[in-house]
C-alpha cells in the first residue's frame, strides 16, 4: 500500500513539473515555471525555485505555455492562444496559427483601467465694505472622461455680484442692487476615428442679466484633430457647423443663424504642479459677416496639495451684435481656490 502511495505522489509531482511553462535560452539553459508577462522586449517567468526571472526576448530560443495566454499585437489586436514553440522567428500557436515575434507587443498585458472622470471645481468670492459695499461669488467647473474610443467633456460657470446702495438720499438706501448674474454650461462628445482625428457634437447655453441676454444657445457637429498630445503639451483644433439662437431680456427681437464653429485648445504642463490652459471658441455667422460670438479663456493652475489648487483665470466674451445698450466685450479676471478629482 505504501508503495502505491509513493508512486502516486511521484506521478503527481512529475505531472506538476511537466505542466509548467518553459523557456529555453540561447545557451541551452531551460527555465520552468509560469510565464507571467512580456513587455518592452523582456519576458517574465515565475520559477518555483528562482522567483521572477526576467529574460530579454532576444535570448529566448524556444517558449512553451501549457495554458492559453493573452497575446497583444503591436497593431492592437488581442489573441488568446497557447504558445507551442518558436520557429523561424515566429511563435507557433494553438489552432495551427503563427505570430511573428517582431509583431508581438505584449504577453498577458495588464488590464486597462476603467475610464474615470477627471476635472476640478473652483470657487471665488469677494466682499468689501465702506465707500463701496459689494459681495460676489463665482464658480467654475469642468470634467472630462476619456476612453480609447471616445471623450466626454462638460463644464459650467456661475457668477453673482451685488452692491449695497450707500447714498443716504436715495429711496433704495441700504438696499442690495444686482451687479452681475451670469450662468453657463456646455457639453461635448468626441468619437475617435483614428488616434488623432475625431468627430464631435457639442452644445452650449449662457444667460447674462447685465448683458440683457436671456439665453444664448448653440448646438452643432464637426471634426477635430489632436496635433500634439504628449506628457507635457496637448494642442487640438476643431471646425464644424452650429445652430446659434439668442433671446434677449429687453424688447430686442431674438436672433438665430447657422454659424461656423472654430475652436482650439492648448494645455501645457510647466512643472509637476503648474499648468496652462488656453481655449478659444468662435461662432461667425454664415448669413451675416457682422454676427460673430467668441469666448476665450486663459488659465494658470497650481496645485497646493494633492487635491487642492489655486487658479488665475481670464475670460473674454465678445459679441459683435450685443443687445441694445450692452457692450460688445466682457472681461473677467478670477482668482479661485478649488479641488481637483
Cell of 18: 511537466
CATH number (2.40.160.40, 2.40.340.10, 1.10.101.10, 1.10.150.310) of 117-340 reads 2.40.160.40
Contact between residue 205 and residue 215 where contact means Cβ atoms under 8 Å apart:
yes
Q: 19 and 5 in contact (C-beta within 8 Å)?
A: no
Give the pLDDT confidence of 241-289 residue by residue, as tens digits: 999 999 999 999 999 999 999 999 999 999 999 999 999 999 999 998 8
| Predicted model pTM | 0.72
Question: Hunting for cell 445652430 — which residue is that?
Answer: 243
What CA–CA distance (Å, rounded) separates 36 from 64? 12
pLDDT band, very low/low/confident/very high, at 210 (cuts 50, 70, 90): confident
Structure confidence by residue, pLDDT tens digits, 123-169 = 999 888 877 788 889 999 999 999 989 999 999 999 999 988 877 77
Between CA 47 and CA 313 the distance in angstroms is 56
Q: What is the pLDDT of residue 147?
A: 92
Q: Where are the beta strands (DSSP E) in 129-232?
A: 133-146, 150-164, 176-192, 197-208, 213-229
| Separation of first and last alpha carbons in the chain | 66
Where does CATH 2.40.160.40 sit in the chain? 117-340
Burial label for 323, CB within 10 Å (0-12, 13-18, 19+), is: buried
Amino acid at each position: 500500500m505504501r508503495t502505491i502511495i509513493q508512486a502516486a505522489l511521484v506521478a503527481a509531482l512529475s505531472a506538476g513539473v511537466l505542466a509548467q511553462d518553459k523557456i529555453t535560452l540561447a545557451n541551452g539553459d531551460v527555465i520552468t515555471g509560469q510565464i507571467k508577462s512580456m513587455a518592452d522586449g523582456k519576458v517574465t517567468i515565475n520559477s518555483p525555485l528562482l522567483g521572477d526571472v526576467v529574460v530579454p526576448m532576444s535570448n529566448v530560443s524556444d517558449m512553451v505555455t501549457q495554458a492559453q495566454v493573452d497575446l497583444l499585437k503591436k497593431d492592437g489586436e488581442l489573441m488568446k492562444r497557447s504558445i507551442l514553440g518558436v520557429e523561424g522567428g515566429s511563435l507557433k500557436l494553438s489552432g495551427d496559427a503563427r505570430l511573428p515575434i517582431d509583431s508581438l507587443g505584449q504577453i498577458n498585458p495588464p488590464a486597462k483601467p476603467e475610464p474615470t472622470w477627471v476635472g476640478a471645481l473652483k470657487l471665488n468670492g469677494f466682499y468689501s465694505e465702506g465707500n463701496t459695499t459689494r459681495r460676489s461669488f463665482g464658480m467654475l467647473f469642468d470634467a472630462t472622461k476619456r476612453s480609447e474610443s471616445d471623450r466626454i467633456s462638460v463644464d459650467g460657470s456661475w457668477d453673482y455680484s451685488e452692491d449695497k446702495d450707500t447714498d443716504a438720499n436715495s429711496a433704495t438706501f441700504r438696499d442690495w442692487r444686482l451687479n452681475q448674474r451670469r450662468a453657463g454650461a456646455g457639453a461635448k462628445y468626441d468619437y475617435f476615428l483614428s488616434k488623432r482625428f475625431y468627430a464631435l457634437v457639442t452644445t452650449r447655453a449662457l444667460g447674462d442679466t447685465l448683458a440683457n441676454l436671456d439665453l444664448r444657445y448653440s448646438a452643432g457637429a464637426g471634426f477635430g484633430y489632436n496635433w500634439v498630445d504628449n506628457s507635457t503639451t496637448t494642442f487640438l483644433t476643431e471646425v464644424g457647423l452650429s445652430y446659434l439662437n439668442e433671446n434677449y431680456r429687453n424688447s430686442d427681437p431674438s436672433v438665430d443663424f447657422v454659424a461656423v464653429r472654430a475652436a482650439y485648445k492648448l494645455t501645457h504642463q510647466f512643472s509637476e504642479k503648474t499648468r496652462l490652459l488656453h481655449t478659444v471658441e468662435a461662432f461667425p455667422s454664415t448669413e451675416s459677416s457682422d454676427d460673430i460670438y467668441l469666448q476665450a479663456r486663459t488659465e494658470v493652475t497650481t496645485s497646493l496639495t494633492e487635491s487642492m489648487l489655486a487658479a488665475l483665470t481670464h475670460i473674454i466674451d465678445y459679441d459683435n451684435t450685443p443687445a441694445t445698450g450692452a457692450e460688445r466685450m466682457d472681461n473677467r479676471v478670477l482668482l479661485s481656490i478649488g479641488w481637483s478629482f
